[in-house]
Copies of this chain bind each other. A is one copy, B any other.
Amino acid sequence: MSDVANRTAFPPPDKSNGKRLAKAVERAGEEFAAKNLRFTKLRQMVYEEIAATYASIGAYEILARLADKGTRVAPISIYRAIDALLEAGVIHRLESKNAFFACRRMDHRTGRRPLFLSCEKCGAVGEVDGQHIFDLIGEAANSAKFVARVKFVEVQGLCPRCASEEKDKA
């Protein structure tokens, strides 16, 4: 079980073969279609930059990478595309880093919310099921008579790969 969970949470760094990326773009397009949102050229380009890295990436880094490829857009355009991608649910925002990463769990329909594990060394972000934790947070809020609307749980630390490298050095 932990093997599967592990693989889901922390897929290997991109081998740059592009096939995985193409699949991710296709799935993103399906998400947009399912929600009656438009997967425009700009949104696709922004999504590709985010999905092309396993680390989280900032808005201005996306902007710089697009510029390197000859597409010069303003910050606001990046943010608008990001908003659409967030709404479609194909990326997530990492509040503690003001950065974004591609969602790799295709189980939205289960309604189970994930929590985010962000590696401090390599920047990779993994997701693991956290529905039971979000439920408890809701109860904790209720007990303080607080009406919860948005919750987030983020963890910083070392991903499995980086943790084992650290251990090797010791």
Residues of chain A at the chain B interface (Cβ within 8 Å):
2, 5-6, 9-10, 95-96, 98, 115, 117, 119-120, 126, 128-130, 132-133, 136-137, 140-141, 143-160, 163
Contacts and interface: CB of A to CB of B under 8 A. Distances in A.
Q: What is the total number of copies of this protein in its complex?
A: 2
A97 B5 CA distance: 31
Contacts of A119: 146
A157 B157 CA distance: 28
A130 to B, nearest CB: 6
Given A95-B96, A126-B144, A128-B140, A152 B149 contact: no
Contacts of A141: 117, 128, 155, 157
B157 A149 contact: yes
A145 B149 CA distance: 30
Given A117-B141, A132-B136, A140-B128, A95 B146 contact: no
